[in-house]
Chains A and B, each alone.
Chain A
């Protein structure tokens, strides 16, 4: 039976960089067992929010709880419950794909024999078997994304926080990843993803939040947020078409 406590709770989250307010008082409750989509335009504060929610960035104000445990007060209890895939950060690229998964497993305190078994399972499931002996520095962007996902999964966390998990991933691999994540959620796990791809979010997520300028503009079940139209129309309606509409005639080829 699902717990009343949110799998991931954000209360009054705020972060500024100099005079720029990146996150401006975000409150979100992400229920356990949900597939949650965090949407927003570029610069909306999604990555900053997820960085604070996973212990990578100290918030200026606010509280983050993982299954009721305060992440920043009790990181030793909260962090093991999280699996994290950040976007745009580097990794230890002199390790092979296999070694990077092993490293993540050992950091999480797993026994080496368990790590070996899960490492091989993940390499096969994510279609990375051939890449296991290749240095991460030689990986394509999509392979790097998949190996990062494997690192997030290796310790079987209860909450997965994935920043743009499908970016640069080929359609075949994306299908495999979707299957893994949907199976994880159906078994009681919680997945939080950020994405710009509305069709993907509509296909996967049961709850969504749309944020812009560091604030939550809409939050709820997918049907509640998108209403009678599609999610993209609702997104544009909420965020507003901020780009100046100029006719780039000089770009026309004929």
Chain B
């Protein structure tokens, strides 16, 4: 079965590359990037190896914890991970999980990220060379590194499958709200500690204590075990390796359990929800000046898109990723840079850009459901405006809320209106560019009901192409929006007032341009869209 599964994966890749040879270029680029990191890792390892054992231990535990967090977070927050071996695809074949798992396990370690990070873990282990009792220390370090890398790979699989299961239930919103509260609480606690003591004090006190404790948990014990040998505490090394090994076994059992569940629950469904109110008809009947500006068709598209953002696991996963990543990065920037006003102004602006940029493949989420729009002869611009408004409905308030939070933390409520207006402008710009790229360069995403965290094996290269083009397009225009805000911070005066008008005006204009141009291309390409996204 192991050979069959590995051969299956290999065949899928070969067929994909035979069909679209140019995708190999992107894979090669990824490989070259990974190899180019190796010298830097080696230099870092050499530099760290000359330090005292406790500094090495804390540094390795910290890196291990961050990499472990990334292995869990990246597949959840950045959708599009290769899912050619998604266990759900094995459901029709009636294979027992215990027969499937060895193959899935070997396959999980045969991916480029897994190979790269096993190499990273072993490089980290090599940092322990030069200590007394070197042979014993290096054996423990090597064992700890391999076990830790196993927990990274297994935890990513478990997290993804559990998240898929969670998103298909009625409790998904409650759990995600709790998750958001925990993230914000951790960031807030970190901010409070850094503000109270200063960064250096916090690093040498709370962070050092935290790392010592993490070194006693499965997250960091594999990396901390060699330090126990260095101080002659063999039992300390043994129990640390034992808890990492136990954690790896536990995670593997959890993975097997999750696979067993997926095999008999192949598709995420609607959790038995019933709705008596016809939201589409209600949207079509809305009266009022603002609604009269929006065509009925656009309102209908807006209503269905808004429903997707609230209930479709694929959209919810994107929404969480779009909000959590920038907030986490902003929180870290705040911890290290303090309440520097430039950072605080940059956060909402970056949030606007990232949310908008993230929609560069928005249309693909309609999947082959687009047939209804296409056979109805609806102008593409109406579809794109409806989808764009569906994003603005949650992203607009989010950007304003983050602007207000940033202004409050920096103690600069006077800059809040200008920052919020600029951030809304960047959102509009990025959404406008995304409207064009999602029509011109769509790539396949998980279909409705499929795991929201996967990607069609063949879409990886196409997704990179779409992402590069939308990045260049957005990156080219955003500086024009942000320039007045920069000038306002430098010179003040009338620049602040200009920001209030400039952001919404240019952002709105680019959004309008993007939906118009994208709409015309949609109409021209309508006979090819289903094939591109379905």
A positions within 8 Å CB-CB of B: 51-52, 54-59, 72, 75-76, 78-80, 82, 84, 86, 89-96, 98-99, 102-104, 106-109, 112, 115-116, 119, 133-135, 137-138, 151
Name A79's closest neighbour in chain B (CB-CB): B377
Give the chain B neighbours of A75 by CB distance below 8 A.
377, 523, 526
Q: How many Å lie between the Cα of A72 and that of B526 in the bound state?
A: 10
Give the chain B neighbours of A106 by CB distance below 8 A.
280-281, 284, 296-297, 299-300
A95 touches B284 (CB 8 A): no
Min CB–CB distance B372 → chain A (angstroms): 6
- As a 0/1 sequence over residues 297 to 313 of chain B, the CB contacts with chain A under 8 angstroms (1 = contact) are 10110001001100110
Q: For the complex, is B204 an interface residue (Cβ under 8 Å from A)? A: no
Give the chain B neighbours of A84 by CB distance below 8 A.
371, 375
Q: How many Å lie between the Cα of A167 and that of B367 in the bound state?
A: 22
Looking at B280, B281, B285, B526, the one whose CB has the most chain A CB atoms below 10 A away is: B280
B448 touches A107 (CB 8 A): no
Give the chain A neighbours of B296 by CB distance below 8 A.
106, 109, 112
Min CB–CB distance B137 → chain A (angstroms): 56
B376 touches A107 (CB 8 A): yes
B272 touches A138 (CB 8 A): yes
A104 touches B285 (CB 8 A): no
Q: For the complex, is B99 an interface residue (Cβ under 8 Å from A)? A: no
Q: How many Å lie between the Cα of A89 and that of B279 in the bound state?
A: 23
Q: List 29 A–B pairs whose Cβ atoms lie within 8 Å, in order of A's numbering.
A: A54-B375, A56-B375, A57-B528, A57-B530, A59-B527, A79-B376, A89-B530, A90-B448, A91-B371, A93-B270, A94-B304, A94-B311, A95-B307, A96-B274, A102-B278, A102-B300, A103-B372, A107-B297, A107-B376, A109-B297, A116-B281, A133-B275, A135-B270, A135-B273, A135-B274, A137-B269, A138-B269, A138-B272, A138-B273
Instruction: Identify which of A89, A107, A116 contacts B369 (C-beta below 8 A).
Output: A89
B positions within 8 Å CB-CB of A: 269-270, 272-276, 278-281, 284-285, 296-297, 299-300, 304, 307-308, 311-312, 366-369, 371-378, 447-449, 523, 526-528, 530-531, 534
B284 touches A115 (CB 8 A): yes
Known: A84-B375, A106-B296, A107-B373. A135 touches B449 (CB 8 A): no
B278 touches A98 (CB 8 A): yes
Known: A89-B534, A90-B534, A94-B304. A151 touches B372 (CB 8 A): yes
Give the chain A neighbours of B372 by CB distance below 8 A.
91-92, 103-104, 107, 151
Q: How many Å lie between the Cα of A80 and that of B345 in the bound state?
A: 50
A-B pairs, 4 with minimum CB distance: A58-B527, A79-B377, A135-B270, A107-B376
Q: How many Å lie between the Cα of A190 and that of B375 in the bound state?
A: 17
Number of A-B contacts (CB under 8 A): 135
Give the chain A neighbours of B297 by CB distance below 8 A.
106-107, 109
B376 touches A138 (CB 8 A): no
Query: Given A133-B274, A135-B273, 11 more contacts at CB 8 Å?
Result: A86-B375, A90-B369, A90-B448, A93-B369, A98-B278, A103-B300, A106-B284, A109-B296, A116-B281, A134-B270, A137-B448
Give the chain B neighbours of A98 by CB distance below 8 A.
278
Looking at B297, B311, B371, B528, the one whose CB has the most chain A CB atoms below 10 A away is: B371
Known: A75-B377, A106-B296. A55 touches B526 (CB 8 A): yes
Name A17's closest neighbour in chain B (CB-CB): B531
Give the chain B neighbours of A103 by CB distance below 8 A.
280, 300, 304, 372
Q: How many Å lie between the Cα of A249 and that of B530 in the bound state?
A: 43
Looking at B269, B275, B299, B531, the one whose CB has the most chain A CB atoms below 10 A away is: B275
Q: How many Å lie between the Cα of A79 and that of B523 in the bound state?
A: 13
A102 touches B307 (CB 8 A): no
Instruction: Identify which of A95, A102, A104, A116 contacts B376 (C-beta below 8 A).
Output: A104
Q: How many Å lie between the Cα of A151 and that of B531 in the bound state?
A: 22
A55 touches B278 (CB 8 A): no
Q: How many Å lie between the Cα of A252 and that of B388 in the bound state?
A: 59
A56 touches B374 (CB 8 A): yes
Q: How many Å lie between the Cα of A96 and that of B304 in the bound state?
A: 10
Instruction: Identify which of A56, A86, A112, A138 contacts B281 (C-beta below 8 A).
Output: A112
Give the chain A neighbours of B278 by CB distance below 8 A.
96, 98-99, 102, 116, 119
Give the chain A neighbours of B300 by CB distance below 8 A.
102-103, 106-107
